[in-house]
Structure formats: structure tokens, C-alpha cells
Amino acid sequence: MNQSARADHAACPGCQTPDLAFLTHDHADCARDALARAEALVLERGLRLTPVRKRVLQILLESHQALGAYDVLNRLAAEGFGNQPPVAYRALEFLEEQGLVHRIRRLNAFAACMHPGEEHAPVFLICTGCKTVAEAPATGIGAALGLAASGMGFVIERATVEAVGKCPACRSEP
Amino acid sequence: MNQSARADHAACPGCQTPDLAFLTHDHADCARDALARAEALVLERGLRLTPVRKRVLQILLESHQALGAYDVLNRLAAEGFGNQPPVAYRALEFLEEQGLVHRIRRLNAFAACMHPGEEHAPVFLICTGCKTVAEAPATGIGAALGLAASGMGFVIERATVEAVGKCPACRSEP
DNA sequence: ACCATGTATGTTATAATATAACATGTCAAG
DNA sequence: CTTGACATGTTATATTATAACATACATGGT
């Protein structure tokens, strides 16, 4: 699968069901769901999913890739929002604090969380072929990490786990 | 333990023996060892540990912390090496390719590898108190990660695992 | 010894990412 | 209808990183 195919939201990888992450499926659905859940979560917490914040989340959900802050900013600016970096960075920061967006440090980029609200230490699989970022089920890894650390007397607060490699589609291509 | 105490090389944490990583021990020894092993490794591979490269590695070994590229650059410049970013970045890139230095993405920084040559997917423990970065034994984590990924048909090439938290010394302080 | 070649370093310039500080606007409680 | 808290907009700048080209330096072949 090439990158332009991946840009088609009707046939995309990486959504919340791990089994589907790198398979073709209807992405419009999971984006809509994630947005609705995000909105509910934020309200529950007495916070506001303002227009900029909502739009930033939508952009990330729709693009279904990790986007740089300036990519997001450009889209915002094109739609009449502010066009200075803090506009994007602040929205992204808010969304990250609320667990709605994850920061992919390896890419200096941000990706929408595909299962907000659920407790999770995210693990990212970054395909070097199609640039898709999938959130993997972290089962066991957080625990193994905590264990290794506590063996040295270290107490983990947050962890970043990012792997680069090839997704099934890109692996079976030249 | 505070940061100035950590700057004292005669009583430092984080070296190659996991059990000692956050304990006091003689760092001059492990720095010297690591440098010698690095030199040998590079020669084995038919490459050159030139003065800049060697000095960069020494700086990282001695400081025993993760340093930004510009921190390294400033020290180089003060010693008569070039004072432009590529000088530092190129040496760091070379050292990273040779597995002698690791990049800590969370900090936009670089740290000397404490056990070069040994096969390892590094796991970093970053103390938010004293800024010390320790390389933890990754036992099991790489495997767990590979397993989780292959469940989705994803093949990992390289992984970044970084945890932030508190080391024993900083945890027992205010 | 000399040159050809590849590799390393130095330098200039700029790109890409991120934040500080302050001004303005908005909204809801009192 | 004002006050206070929060959000957004704007200006400016800091920090991190790389591209492109020039110079030097080592090494092997002759």
C-alpha cells in the first residue's frame, strides 16, 4: 500500500481495534466515534473542547497519520484560525494532557489517540513505508518496564515506547 | 542526591553494571573502560575514532548525563574544535551509528552507551530529579514489543524505550 | 615522493521545531 | 453589567537540526 492509498479515509489502517490497525476498514466511523468520545470525556472533566481544539483533533483523526505541529497549524490557518505556532501547540498540549492526542517523539509529531479514556501507556508502531502510526496494545510491556526499573530502585512516571519498522502492506511491496 | 553531587565523577550513578546504575561508585573507571572498548570496536570495523569523535565520546562519558548537541558543541569549541553545529552533529551521528552513543529523544539529547558492542535495544530511565539517564537491562521488553507488533503483522526494525521517573536517591529527597 | 581518492572537518546559511511574554477577546458566575 | 478565569491571537525569539559547499588530511598506488 502506498501513501496516497493511505490518504483515502475510506480505506485506512491504524484505528482502535488492534486487529484492524493495519487492515483496510472504514475510517470515517472510527474518527467520528473517537471525536464523540473525546467530546464527552472533556465535558465530564468540566473542560471545554473549543473550536480550535476540536478542529485540531479532527485534523489528526482524519489524516490518520502523525502530523507535525506546523502541518496542523497550516491547516488551521487555511480555515481562518490563528496562524502562529502557539495556536497549534496550545491545542495540541491540551489534547495531549487530556489523553486525546499522543506525541510521537521520534517524528516530532502528534497523532490522535484511538481509544481515549481507557487507561493505557501507548506503544507506537511507525511504518517507514507508508508513515502510518498505529497504537499497539501495550499489554505486558508497561509491566515489564516497571519491573526492570524497580529492580534498580527507579519508579516510572511516564514511558515512551516507539518502534519503527514495516507494516504488513508495506512489507509485501518492493 | 542533587545535581551538583551528580557532577562529581568520583561518585556517580548510571554505569554499565545495572546494579550500580543509581548507586555511588568510581566513574573514572567505567568511563575509561568504555572509551577503550569504543576505540577497539571502531578499529575492528575499519573506521576511525578521530579526535573530534573521541572527544565527544569522552565528554558524554565524563558528564555522565545526557547532553544536548549544543552543549557538546560548546565544549568542543572551547577546546579549539569547530564551533558550528555540524561538527557536533556529525560526531554524534557517527557515534550513534556505531552504537557508542544513544539518542534520548525525550530530551533532544545524547548519552554515551555504557556497554558498547553488546547487542542491546536500549531502555532508558530518566530521573526528573537529578537528570541522570541510566541504561536499564532491557530483558524481555524487546521480546514483548516484538511479539505485540508481530500480532499485528508489523516487523520492528528499531525501538525507542524511554521512561521518566525518579531514581532512588531523588525519591528519598524532598 | 607524488598524486588520486575517499573521508573528515570546517564554515556559511537556513530550515524545522518550540516557547516566552504580552495583548485581546470571550464567557459564565456573581 | 462587571469581574475573573480561561482561551485565543500576536510578536518575538529560543532551540534543535540539516543542506550545501570549501578545505584539509590520511591512505594506497605508482
Chain segment B93-112, per-residue pLDDT in tens: 999 999 999 999 999 999 99
pTM (two decimals): 0.87
CB B143 within 8 Å of CB B156: no
Residue range A7-18: average pLDDT?
A: 43
Closest CA to A158 of A82, A99, A94, A100: A99
Chain segment A101-125, per-residue pLDDT in tens: 999 999 999 999 988 877 777 899 9
Report the distance from CA of residue B98 to the C1' of nucleotide C10 in Å, as an integer. Answer: 23
CA gap B35, B43 in Å, rounded = 12
pLDDT at A103: 97
Q: Which residues from the 49-78 window of protein chain B have CB within 7 angstroms of nucleic acid chain D?
A: 68-70
Closest CA to A133 of A106, A158, A159: A106
Report the distance from CA of residue B97 to the C1' of nucleotide D30 in Å, as an integer. Answer: 35
pLDDT category of residue A140 using cuts at 50, 70 and 90: confident
Chain segment A35-91, per-residue pLDDT in tens: 999 999 999 999 999 999 999 999 999 988 899 999 999 999 999 999 999 999 999
pLDDT category of residue B122 using cuts at 50, 70 and 90: confident
How many other CB atoms are found less than 10 A from the CB of residue B64?
A: 24
pLDDT at B8: 40
CA gap B132, B7 in Å, rounded = 10
* Residue A52, CB, strand D, below 7 Å: yes
CB B133 within 8 Å of CB B111: yes
What's the per-residue H, E or C state across A5-69?
HHHCCCCECCCCCHHHCCCCECHHHHHHHHHHHHHHHHHHCCCCCCHHHHHHHHHHHHHCCCECH
pLDDT at A38: 94
pLDDT category of residue A21 using cuts at 50, 70 and 90: low
pLDDT at B61: 93
* Residue matched to cell numbers 467530546: A39
* Contact across the interface for B160 and A155, Cβ inside 8 Å: no
pLDDT at A126: 93
Report the distance from CA of residue A136 to the C1' of nucleotide C30 in Å, as an integer. Answer: 48
pLDDT category of residue A24 using cuts at 50, 70 and 90: low
* Residue A84, CB, strand C, below 7 Å: yes
> Terminal CA-to-CA distance of chain B, rounded, Å?
10
Closest CA to A87 of A75, A99, A104, A102: A75
Chain segment B53-65, per-residue pLDDT in tens: 999 999 999 988 8
Burial A100-130 (b: 16+ CB within 10 A, else e): bbbbbbbbebbbbbbbbeeebbbbbbbbebb
> Terminal CA-to-CA distance of chain A, rounded, Å?
10
Residue range A88-101: average pLDDT?
A: 97
Helical segments of chain B, H only: 3-7, 27-44, 51-63, 69-78, 85-97, 141-150, 168-171
In B, which residues are within 8 Å of A151 by CB distance?
18, 137
Residue among A19, A145, A170, A172 with most chain B CBs within 10 A, to mutate: A145
